[in-house]
Amino acid sequence: PKTQEPKFDGTPCPVQSETRTCSPQACNADCELGDWSEWGDCGKPCNTGHRQRTMPVKTEARGTGTCSGEKAEFEQCNKHTC
C-alpha cells in the first residue's frame, strides 16, 4: 500500500481497504451432463445388431469433483431373421 503524509497542515486520510472475492466458482465441482443423443444406426440389417446413444459432458469436473453416471447406452436392434 502507498501512504503519504499530509502536507500543508492537511488532515490525514482515513484508512481504506477493500476485499473482493477473486474466484466466485467453487474449486471442486462435479461435471454437468447434457441430454442423451439420438440413437445411432444399427450395426446389422438383420439377425440382431446393436446401436448406441451417448450423453455428452457439458462441463468437465473441477478439482476433486467427479463425473459419474452412464454416458453411453447400448441396445439390440433389427432382431428379425435375414
- In this model, does residue 6 exceed pLDDT 80? no
Calpha distance 42→46 (Å, rounded): 9
What does the pLDDT average to over 12-36? 80
pLDDT digits (tens, 9 = 90+) for 37-74: 999 999 999 999 999 999 999 999 998 999 988 899 99
Predicted pLDDT at 2: 63
- In this model, does residue 24 exceed pLDDT 70? no
Predicted pLDDT at 1: 55
Answer whether 53's CB lies under 8 Å from 39's CB.
Answer: yes
**CA Rg value for the chain:** 30
Predicted pLDDT at 68: 87
Mean per-residue pLDDT over the chain, rounded: 87
What does the pLDDT average to over 20-37? 83
